[in-house]
A and B are shown apart, each in its own frame.
Chain A
Amino acid sequence: GAVVSQHPSWVICKSGTSVKIECRSLDFQATTMFWYRQFPKQSLMLMATSNEGSKATYEQGVEKDKFLINHASLTLSTLTVTSAHPEDSSFYICSARDQRRVPKNIQYFGAGTRLSVL
């Protein structure tokens, strides 16, 4: 199956600092990637849809200035959590959609990044 690599897998940072998370599609090109957030014992919530070469589409209630998304190439999207605070501590998961492999448009998920803000 398609492979999506996400780094880092775990990050601890101080309050007020910024953290960047990378999501790469290793064996396919992804014009669309997705960023999800998952709090403990809860489901995945879509934060934003990342579109290659254009601005990301954010879900209602997600601050675009706090969660900066850049999708500069067909294989890489980054999520930067700016001025992180303890309430941003969560499990962040990216996915990438493969529009060519059959069946088409399946989302493949990264391994996730656990962010802990002290």
Chain B
Amino acid sequence: ELKVEQNPLFLSMQEGKNYTIYCNYSTTSDRLYWYRQDPGKSLESLFVLLSNGAVKQEGRLMASLDTKARLSTLHITAAVHDLSATYFCAVDMWEETSGSRLTFGEGTQLTVNP
């Protein structure tokens, strides 16, 4: 059974600081997603990482994927209050019995303080 673990689960940081959220997963996959969720809202897609070594950047967020280490990171640069949200990683796996499916990490609740 695929397990996806995020670290940390809660993160409080000051504006202007940098930090990294980690996403570890337990079995081989070469497709990983990062999502943002605001309170009461659905998921907003941030990044789709499709291969080993993939790196994508959008604004103050940068995501990377290391399929050999089964690790993805979401790096926050010079955080601003607007980045406060919950961030999920999700791993896409193909299973014979159920086809392709996403397994989500527990989520990282990020609060950026002035």
Which residues of A are interface residues toward B (Cβ below 8 A)?
A: 1, 6, 32, 34, 41-46, 49, 57, 93, 95, 97, 103, 105-112, 114
Could you tell me the distance between the alpha carbons of A15 and B102 in the complex, rounded to whole angstroms?
31
How many whole Å from A74's CB to the nearest CB in chain B?
16
Task: Please name the residue on chain B nearest to A32 by beta carbon.
Answer: B99
Contact of B41 among A97, A108, A112 (CB under 8 A): A112
**Contact status of A57 and B98, CB under 8 A, knowing A93-B43, A103-B48:** yes
Q: Is the CB–CB distance between B101 and A109 below 8 Å?
A: no
Please name 29 pairs of A and B residues whose Cβ atoms are closer than 8 Å in the assembled complex, sorted by A: A6-B42, A32-B99, A32-B100, A34-B101, A34-B102, A41-B109, A42-B106, A43-B88, A43-B105, A43-B107, A44-B43, A44-B88, A44-B104, A46-B102, A46-B103, A49-B98, A49-B99, A49-B101, A93-B42, A93-B43, A103-B48, A103-B50, A105-B92, A105-B100, A108-B45, A109-B43, A111-B41, A112-B41, A112-B42
How many whole Å from A82's CB to the nearest CB in chain B?
23
Which residues of B are interface residues toward A (Cβ below 8 A)?
A: 40-43, 45, 48, 50, 88, 92, 98-107, 109
Could you tell me the distance between the alpha carbons of A108 and B102 in the complex, rounded to whole angstroms?
12
Total number of A-B contacts with CB less than 8 angstroms?
A: 46
How many whole Å from B6's CB to the nearest CB in chain A?
9
Main secondary structure of the interface of B (DSSP, over half): strand
Contacts A43-B107, A49-B99, A107-B102 supplied; 9 other A-B pairs, CB < 8 Å:
A32-B99, A42-B107, A43-B88, A43-B104, A43-B105, A44-B43, A45-B104, A57-B99, A95-B102
Q: Is the CB–CB distance between B102 and A43 below 8 Å?
A: no
Main secondary structure of the interface of A (DSSP, over half): strand
